[in-house]
Structures are given as C-alpha cells and as structure tokens.
Amino acid sequence: MKIYLDLCAIQRPLDTPNQIRIVLESEAVLGIITFCDSGQAELLSSEALLYEGEQSSLPIRKEHTLAVLAKAKGIVSVTEKEKLRAANLITFGIKPLDALHIALAETGNADYFCTCDDELLRNSKRVEDLMVKVVNPVDLVQEMEK
C-alpha cells in the first residue's frame, strides 16, 4: 500500500489542538507515519512536496515536514505528464498545487492521497477518473484497519 500525504496532513500534528477534529487528525497522521515506518505501508513523496516543505517560514514546520518526507520510499518527479493531468483536475475546482499533488500521487501509483483539506476532499469526488483514493487521515486509518 502506497500513501501520499499532502502538506496539510503532514503538518497536522503541529497545529494547535483547539478542536477535537484537529486532535483526531493529528493522531491519525502520526499513526499513518508509524504504520509506514513499520513497513506495513509505503510513504510516497514528490518534488512538489519537497518544494512546498522548504517554503515554510516556521523552522519547526519545515524540519518536521522534511523529516517525514525523508521516510518516503520514492520521490515522484514533475514532468509534462503531471502538469497536463493537473490542468485537467483544475477544471473540477481543485486548486493548482493540490491538482499537481494528486497527479504526482497517481504517477507514483499511490493507493491513497491523504489530506485534511475539506474543499479538496469535496472537489476530488467530482473527478470520475481519479486513479488514487482521496481520503481524510481518520478515514484512512479506518480503512487500514479493515
């Protein structure tokens, strides 16, 4: 099983735990990372995730993101193929960088694209030919335990 965590999922454990949802998603993300560390799943990274992680203005967020991405078994490169797929995904209301991440997850043969972004989750359901399942971290944990 391959999992592509987007930046908001990777950084969720660093968010202020002022809502039950944030606490649950944080624990789920940490569990997913542990699951990957144990070899039961494979974490997938990309040039776009590395770039986005490097842009963080807060050192702790940057350090955490790069540490998580260092655990990845593979890094997917951005090519014209992913740019074209992202352009197609944008037509469904998906933001450009999110669309590129989904395209990269598809190229890397990820089984799951994990995000905490409700708008992305909603808009991805409109795409009929998605080759990766877009899920919230809590839902992914529930799927992994089936």
Q: Is 93 left (phi over 0), alpha (psi -120 to 50) or beta?
A: left
pLDDT tens string 69-102: 999 999 999 999 999 999 999 999 999 999 999 9
The whole-number mean pLDDT for each consecutive block of 10 residues of the chain, a chain of 146 residues, reads: 97 96 97 95 97 93 96 96 98 97 98 98 97 98 88
The predicted pLDDT at position 109 comes to 98
Q: How far lies 49's CA from each of 7, 40, 80, 98, in Å?
A: 7, 22, 17, 10
The predicted pLDDT at position 22 comes to 97
The predicted pLDDT at position 4 comes to 98
The predicted pLDDT at position 144 comes to 87
Q: What angle do CA 107, 45, 82 make, to 5 degrees?
A: 30
CATH architecture type of domain 2-144: 3-Layer(aba) Sandwich (3.40)
- Which residue from 126, 134, 125 is spatially nearest to 106, judged by alpha carbons? 134
